[in-house]
Structure 1
Amino acid sequence: MDSWVRFNAQSQAKERIIRAAQYSCTLLGFALHRRDSSGELRRTVLQLEAHLSLSRKLLRLGSSVEALEAAKRSVHLSDSVLRLCLTFSHLNRALYFACDNLLWAGRTGILPGLDQNKWSQRSFRYYLFALILNLTRDVYELRLLMEREARFRASKAPPSPVPGGARTPDRLADPSPPSAALRAAALAWASLRRRLHLVAAVLYGNPPLLLDLLKNGCDVFVPLDRLGLYRTGPGFVGACGLTSSLLSILTILHPWLKLKP
């Protein structure tokens, strides 16, 4: 089992490069359609996209085993939220890869009677569930880091110069209704700005979390569009797929950028 996982990991970089090329073709096909370019060129780009998609499915043969092994490892995590999100995410990925393998067999003629539309829809459903769980994990880790950063800042903050027993002037203690509404809006805006600054500081200090959040955020639009839940069009899907593919290649080139566990 371990030898197969190591062997399969060697093809991940190739699969990511082919994925980037596939979504580049999607984006190019959309641009050619907008410019009313020749139908022959568009057909060539679409055929290339289909061949690249089939090549990716070939490289992902057996990836279900790797996903199941990852699920077995994540079961032992101490954090219950991470354990739940990662385990079910890997299980959904395993089912997604299994459906993808069946689609490869159907498109190559090994299973000529396969209902490709039905299995494609199932594949994208499992893919969407996995991405939702990954995004939930990202948001959870972001919240934990924000709480830690907030506690650190509170411990370093200087004491307030206003004495605790100072009496608030009557003019401020009992404001007129308009000034009270303005003060509430100002306080809400100040609180929002502080939280946004905190989010930016946490993500800036944690590039793996930032990249994983961006990658999953881009990827989620692909199954949403394919399932008809949120139509964005081939141009947007191509841009999102290309962006997430480049981010994945970046984490392969620099392993320290990959979010762990």
Structure 2
Amino acid sequence: MESWVRFSAQSQAKERVFRAAQYACTLLGYTLQKNGASPDFLARIKQLEAHLSLGRKLFRLGNSADALEAAKRAIHLSDMVLRFCITVSHLNRAMYFACDNILWAGKSGLVPHMDQEKWSQRSFRYYLFSLIMNLSRDAYEIRLLAEREANGKSQKGGRGDAVGGGGSFSGEDGRLQQLALRLKLQLQLLARVLRNNPPLLLDVAKNACDLFIPLDKLGIYKTGPGFVGLCGLTSSVLSILAIVHPWLKLKP
């Protein structure tokens, strides 16, 4: 198991590069189609995209074991919310990769009569739930850091600064102004938290981009191949960035 996990870790960077190239082809194909490219050239782009997708699946053959090992580590976290979100996310990733491996066997011809559409839908459902857990974890981390930031600022600046100078509001217009001020302060706090925590910012951006892919594939929220290609390419580049610079990977 450990040797397989090490092999999976070595393949991860290559898989991310293939993923970036695949979604770049998706985006390129959509752009060329909009600009009236020839059907023959578009067919070649589609074929290249399919080959890249199949190559990615080969690199991910060991990722189920990697995800299960990560789930075993996460179950010992002291924070109950993080323990739940991260463990459930890794378990769903393990199921997603397992379905993806079965789909690879079908597309490569090893299991010729397999229902590829059914396994693809199963795969994307597990992928979607994993991303929901990841975003829930991100939201929880943001809340903890925002509370810490707000408490630290209120202790330094006094209570009046914490509520925006202690201005008085009256009437309907006053309540709207107070609501607008609170919203502005919350957005400023959110921006400060994300700016001071690049790994969290990168993880939020990556998960938010990835979320549109299963939503589109499952028909829950159709966005079109161009937007899916852009989101997939962006999240892939962010993932490669986290691999190249490990300090950008969100921990635990």
TM-score, normalised with respect to structure 1: 0.92
**Superposition deviation, residue 9 in structure 1:** 0.2
Question: 2:164 maps to which residue?
Answer: none
Structure 2 alignment gaps of length 5 or more: 162-167
Matching residue within 184, 189, 204 for 2:175: 184
Note the 1:34-183 alignment, pairs <5 A.
Answer: 34-158=34-158, 180-183=171-174
In the alignment, is residue 242 of structure 1 matched against residue 233 of structure 2?
yes
- Give, in whole Å, the separation in 2 of the partners of 1:44 and 1:237: 19
In the alignment, is residue 202 of structure 1 matched against residue 196 of structure 2?
no
Q: Deviations over 1:32-84 (max 9, x none)?
A: 11011101110000000000000000000021000000000000000000000
**Superposition deviation, residue 114 in structure 1:** 0.7
**Superposition deviation, residue 2 in structure 1:** 1.9
Question: 1:219 maps to which residue?
Answer: 210
- Give, in whole Å, the separation in 1 of the partners of 2:245 and 2:215: 29
Contact 2:90/2:130, CA 8 A, preserved across alignment: yes
Greater mean alpha carbon deviation, residues 14-23 or residues 152-161: 152-161
Question: Percent identity among equivalent residues?
Answer: 63
- Give, in whole Å, the separation in 2 of the partners of 1:55 and 1:30: 21
Q: Which amino acid aligns with 1:147?
A: E
Is the partner of 2:109 in helix, strand or coil? coil
- Give, in whole Å, the separation in 2 of the partners of 1:144 and 1:159: 20
**Superposition deviation, residue 160 in structure 1:** 5.0
- Give, in whole Å, the separation in 2 of the partners of 1:160 and 1:197: 17
- Give, in whole Å, the separation in 2 of the partners of 1:191 and 1:117: 48
Q: Deviations over 1:186-215 (max 9, x none)?
A: 111110100000000000000000000000
- Give, in whole Å, the separation in 2 of the partners of 1:216 and 1:123: 17
Is the partner of 1:242 in helix, strand or coil? helix
Q: Which amino acid aligns with 2:72?
A: K
Question: 2:28 maps to which residue?
Answer: 28
In the alignment, is residue 258 of structure 1 matched against residue 249 of structure 2?
yes
Aligned positions, number: 246
Q: Which amino acid aligns with 2:198?
A: P
- Give, in whole Å, the separation in 1 of the partners of 2:23 and 2:127: 17
TM-score, normalised with respect to structure 2: 0.95
Is the partner of 2:237 in helix, strand or coil? helix
Is the partner of 1:188 in helix, strand or coil? helix
Contact 2:23/2:229, CA 8 A, preserved across alignment: yes
Contact 2:95/2:123, CA 8 A, preserved across alignment: yes
Runs of 4+ in 1 over 2 A off after TM superposition: 158-161
Q: Which amino acid aligns with 2:222?
A: R
> Which structure has the larger Rg over C-alpha atoms?
1
- Give, in whole Å, the separation in 1 of the partners of 2:45 and 2:21: 11
Change (3 A) 1:61 1:157: same
Question: 1:8 maps to which residue?
Answer: 8
**Superposition deviation, residue 117 in structure 1:** 0.3
Structure 1 alignment gaps of length 5 or more: 162-171
- Give, in whole Å, the separation in 2 of the partners of 1:7 and 1:221: 29
**Superposition deviation, residue 241 in structure 1:** 0.2
- Give, in whole Å, the separation in 2 of the partners of 1:115 and 1:159: 63
**Superposition deviation, residue 7 in structure 1:** 1.6
Contact 2:7/2:62, CA 8 A, preserved across alignment: no
- Give, in whole Å, the separation in 1 of the partners of 2:225 and 2:149: 40
Q: Which amino acid aligns with 1:197?
A: Q
**Superposition deviation, residue 3 in structure 1:** 2.0
Is the partner of 1:10 in helix, strand or coil? helix
